[in-house]
């Protein structure tokens, strides 16, 4: 067994590499519609997936709709970035369709197609995610659920462990969605949660568990994972984690 510190940005890159090896992603990447909804973690995923099909021009900068920044941040900068929003990433039968969003292809997404949607809260034990809602019609997650619940598309939720919360997401959402509350609403969603832990399993075969968290000087939000398995599995995991550990902090 060996312990590793993974920062939030390194976790995003690790999740991206793990998603690339996910069986459902491999399947739909060549046959079907893969929709990567804009978000910070999904930006890293989009970079890796597009690179795998020969598209090297995409960068994750600005690939978001809503984003959390410190109160002192210059919000005018965010608004300017939104003006050049590139759209979601739609890959159909291995071909990228630039400029489109999930709303352009929603009625075409069907059984076996895959939607990747990030989250804002994670209950690790219950394998359940919560998504902040700012749009009065429910935004991209409500649109996604039309295809997931209505037509059996698959929903995968890539989410970093720094977004873990200990409470019951249904009860939290009931409070946030109440008449008395202010700020974003929340929708708890059932889908396949994919964190750094799942990425390590897919990439190396090793098991990982969250054992500690936190730090300073760039390690804020970082997590300590205890990785266990055969000698070969742990060595493979160490090599992968060492590679992503050099990922610079996400900045806009």
Phi–psi pair at 22, nearest 5 degrees: -65, 130
pLDDT of amino acid 213: 96
For residues 37, 43, 48, 51, the Cα torsion angle rounded to the nearest 10 degrees is: 90
pLDDT of amino acid 73: 84
pLDDT of amino acid 200: 98
Name the residue ranges covered by the structural domains of the chain.
19-195
Give this prediction's pTM. 0.95
Contact 229, 207 (CB under 8 A): yes
List of residues 6+ apart from 240 with CB closer than 8 A: 14, 17, 200, 203, 204
Q: Of 210, 209, 203, nearest to 236 (Cα)?
A: 203
Q: Does 82 or 212 have the greater pLDDT score?
A: 212
CA–CA gap between residue 103 and residue 101 (Å, rounded): 5
List of residues 6+ apart from 201 with CB closer than 8 A: 18, 207, 208
The string of pLDDT tens digits covering residues 37-86 is 999 999 999 999 999 999 988 988 889 888 888 888 887 877 777 777 88
pLDDT of amino acid 74: 80
Residue 182: count other Cβ atoms within 10 Å of its Cβ. Answer: 5
pLDDT of amino acid 59: 87
Banded model confidence at residue 22, pLDDT cuts 50, 70, 90 = very high
Residues written for the chain? 252
pLDDT of amino acid 218: 87
The string of pLDDT tens digits covering residues 98-150 is 999 999 999 999 999 999 999 999 999 999 999 999 998 999 999 999 999 99
Average pLDDT over residues 234-238: 98
Contact 45, 231 (CB under 8 A): no
SS (H, E, C) the chain: CEEEEECHHHHHHHHHHHHHCCHHHHHHHHCCEEEECCCHHHHHHHHHHHHHCCCCCCCCCCCCCCCCCCCCCCHHHHHHHHHCCCCCEEEECCEECCCCCHHHHHHHCCCCCEEECCCCEEECCCCEEEEEECCCCCHHHHHHHHHHHHHCCEEEEECCHHHECCCCHHHHHHHHCCCCCCCCEEEEECCEEECHHHHHHHHHCCEEEEEEECCCCCCCCCEEEEEECCHHHHHHHHHHHHHHCCCCCCCC
Greatest Cα pair distance, the chain, in angstroms, is 54
pLDDT of amino acid 68: 85
Average pLDDT over residues 6-16: 97
Sign of the C-alpha dihedral computed for residues 170, 128, 184 and 7 taken in this order: positive
The string of pLDDT tens digits covering residues 157-196 is 999 999 999 999 999 999 999 999 999 999 999 999 999 9
pLDDT of amino acid 233: 98
């Amino acid at each position: 067994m060996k312990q590793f510190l993974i920062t939030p940005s390194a976790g995003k890159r690790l999740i991206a590499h793990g998603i690339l090896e996910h069986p459902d992603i491999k399947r739909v990447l060549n046959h079907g519609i893969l929709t990567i909804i804009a978000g910070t973690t999904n930006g890293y995923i989009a970079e890796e997936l597009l690179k795998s099909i020969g598209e090297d021009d995409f960068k994750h900068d600005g690939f978001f709709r809503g984003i959390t920044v410190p109160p002192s941040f210059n919000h005018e900068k965010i608004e300017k970035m939104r003006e050049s929003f590139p759209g979601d990433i739609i890959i159909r039968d291995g071909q990228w369709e630039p400029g489109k969003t999930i709303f352009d292809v929603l009625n075409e997404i069907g059984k076996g197609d895959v939607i990747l949607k990030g989250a804002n809260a994670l209950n690790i034990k219950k394998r359940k995610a919560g998504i902040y809602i700012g749009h009065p019609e429910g935004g991209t997650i409500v649109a996604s659920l039309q295809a997931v619940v209505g037509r059996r598309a698959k929903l995968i939720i890539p989410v970093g462990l720094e977004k873990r919360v200990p409470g019951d997401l249904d009860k939290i959402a009931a409070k946030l969605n109440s008449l008395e509350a202010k700020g974003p609403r929340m929708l708890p969603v059932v889908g396949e949660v994919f964190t750094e832990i799942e990425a390590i399993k897919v990439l190396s075969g090793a098991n990982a568990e969250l054992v500690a968290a936190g730090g300073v000087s760039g390690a804020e939000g970082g997590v300590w994972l205890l990785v266990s398995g055969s000698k070969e599995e742990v060595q493979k995991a160490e090599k992968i984690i060492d590679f992503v550990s050099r990922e610079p902090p996400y900045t806009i």
